[in-house]
Structure 1
Amino acid sequence: MEENNSFSIKNWNEDDRPREKLLLKGRTALSDTELIAILIGSGSRNESAVSLSQRILASVSNNLSELGRLSIPELMEFKGIGEAKAICIAAAMELGRRRRTGEALERKKITSSNSVFEYVQPIIGELPHEEFWILYLNNSNKIIKSAQLSKGGITGTVVDVRLAFKDALQLGAVGIILAHNHPSGTLKPSQADIQLTKKLKTAGDSLDIKVLDHLIITEKAYFSFADENML
């Protein structure tokens, strides 16, 4: 039977429909567009929040990871998005990233290269610059600590080998895993990557601290030195 009362969804203001839909049907029933419309709250005189959200998502090919990369000024380029709305979107994207990081932290035992990827990808996988990270492991393959060793530009970064093993000794780590991102998206290790891995492995061998793996991380994939028998 068709609803004719004022509570029928067709009678709601378009900006309110996503909120009402979430209340009545639950958050999983909403599309990405509708969820962003809730963040925005309202559109402009000539455009609803839903339509504005559709435009924003279309600009990043409906990819939420790409949306999370947009800066506040880039978000503000959309007509109808001021600083406050841009900040709301950026904050929501960051909460999503941190939630994924938190889920990875709960699975701190490293069992494979994929488990390393799941842990590190939320941290460095989508950065526009290169960062080099190190995971310090105990004898149960559990992460004692993870730390950024260096941060560089698009073209590369420099790693202090002495600092890496100083921390390993202080923490009592028996193994380390290296990870860095390639903002270019390529998974092929460079000669510098290969040489650095050998240098760290040699240093680790002399201190009885194993270099268990070195991962190159991109947004959706990884390259493992251990899986490719390059350690």
Structure 2
Amino acid sequence: MHEKSSSFSIKNWSQDDQPREKLRDKGKDALSDAELVAILIGSGSKNESAVDLCKRILSSVDNNLNALGKLSIKQLMEFKGIGEAKAITIAAAMELGRRRRGEEALVQNKITSSVSVFELMQPILGELPHEEFWILYLNNSNKVIQKNQLSKGGITGTLVDVRLVLKNALEVGATGLILAHNHPSGTLKPSEADKKLTQKLKSASESLDIKVLDHLIVTEKAYFSFADENLL
């Protein structure tokens, strides 16, 4: 039985069909998404190659890697040929990609517009099923000194401690703040609570010569900027 299933391992494919060797010889850009995922899982089933299996998985999410990253271990295991170990490997790779994107945004951490804030915070907030509130602490060159999760709440809202925000701002020497939170519902319209909290933080910060530069509401694919909409 072992010998029969082993023929579907990538190492037994013809050299032209081996994605590992293709990556080695032609570079990672030469591989399709399905071939890259096939390298992760190593083998398919007795009736389907790893690449064909990965094509089927990707097809189920419209060939969207962001959507693939949202699949749970249980959902991945619903595909014939994907056991727990393979499902965990795929999920881990998707999470590494998400974290890399966040770190790349942080390297280019001078805030020049609301777009640069969105690029930094979307990998963190964009796909969460619950609401979180984050603060970016900036120096006088508008570079991010620190980014902190201030609170984590349910889908209906979250609690923000203004004193904690300002205490940390003084500790890190911040001269500017940018507020960011997500709306799991996908709506970009700020609530009255969002507006009141923004003004509360702005007023409290001004007494310490710290400016609230913006407040972003982040969803998976878009954002709302208080600064851009002249709500600050």
TM-score by length of 2: 0.89
Which residue matches 2:145?
A: 144
Aligned residues: 221
Counterpart residue number, 1:205: 206
Spell out, residue by residue over 1:44-92, the C-alpha distance to the aligned partner (whole angstroms, 9 max, x if none). 1122111211121122121111111122222122221111111111111
Q: Identify which range, 95-104 or 140-149, moves more after superposition.
A: 95-104
Runs of 4+ in 1 over 3 A off after TM superposition: 11-16
Q: CA RMSD in A?
A: 1.8
Question: Which stretch of the first structure deviates more once superposed, 116-125 or 21-30?
Answer: 21-30
Amino acid at match of 1:148: Q
Cα contact 2:15–2:21 (8 A) shared by 1 = no
Q: CA deviation at 1:18?
A: 2.1
Deviation sequence 1:112-159 (CA, Å, 0-9, x none):
111111111111112222111000111111111100001112222111
Once residues 94 and 76 of structure 1 are traced to their aligned partners in structure 2, the CA distance between those partners, rounded to angstroms, is 17
What amino acid sits opposite 2:216 in the alignment?
L
Q: Report the Cα distance in structure 2 between the residues aligned to 1:85 and 1:18, rounded to whole angstroms.
A: 17
Task: Name the TM-score, length of structure 1 as normaliser.
Answer: 0.89
Distance in 2, Cα, partners of 1:51 & 1:14: 17
Distance 1:156 1:14, change over 3 A: farther
1:44–1:61 CA distance, 2 compared to 1 (3 A): same
Confirm or deny: 8 A CA contact 1:75 1:81 kept in the other structure: yes
SS of the residue corresponding to residue 160 of structure 2 reads coil
1:117 lines up with 2:152 in the alignment: no
Q: Which residue of 2 aligns with 1:134?
A: 135
Contact kept, 8 Å, 1:132 with 1:181, in 2: the verdict is yes
Q: Could you say which residue in structure 2 is the equivalent of 1:189? A: 190
Residue aligning to 1:8: none
Percent identical pairs in the alignment equals 77
Paired letter, 1:72: I
Q: Is the 8 A contact 1:133 1:180 kept in 2?
A: yes
Q: Is contact 1:15-1:43 (8 Å) kept?
A: no
Q: Determine the C-alpha separation between the residues in 2 that align with 1:170 and 1:75.
A: 45
Q: Which residue of 1 aligns with 2:32?
A: 31
Unaligned segments of structure 1, at least 5 residues: 1-10
Once the two structures are superposed, the pairs formed by residues 133-172 of structure 1 within 5 Å of their partners are 133-172=134-173
- The answer as to whether partners of 1:21 and 1:30 remain within 8 angstroms in 2 is yes
In the other structure, the counterpart of 1:83 is: 84
Displacement of 1:14 after TM fit?
9.5
Gaps of 5+ in 2: 1-11
C-alpha distance in 2 between matches for 1:23 and 1:141: 41
C-alpha deviation, 1:210, in angstroms: 0.8
Deviation at 1:20, TM superposition (A): 3.0
Kept in 2: contact 1:133–1:147 (CA 8 A): yes
Residues 15, 196 of structure 1: CA spacing in aligned structure 2 closer, same or farther, 3 A cutoff? Answer: farther
Deviations along 1:166-207, one digit per CA (max 9) or x if unpaired, are 111222211100001122222111222111111111111222
Question: How far does residue 15 in structure 1 lie from its aligned partner after superposition?
Answer: 11
In 1: Cα distance, 2:21 partner to 2:135 partner: 46
SS at match of 2:207: helix
1:57 corresponding residue in structure 2: 58
CA offset at residue 16 of structure 1? 5.0
**1:12 CA drift (Å):** 3.8
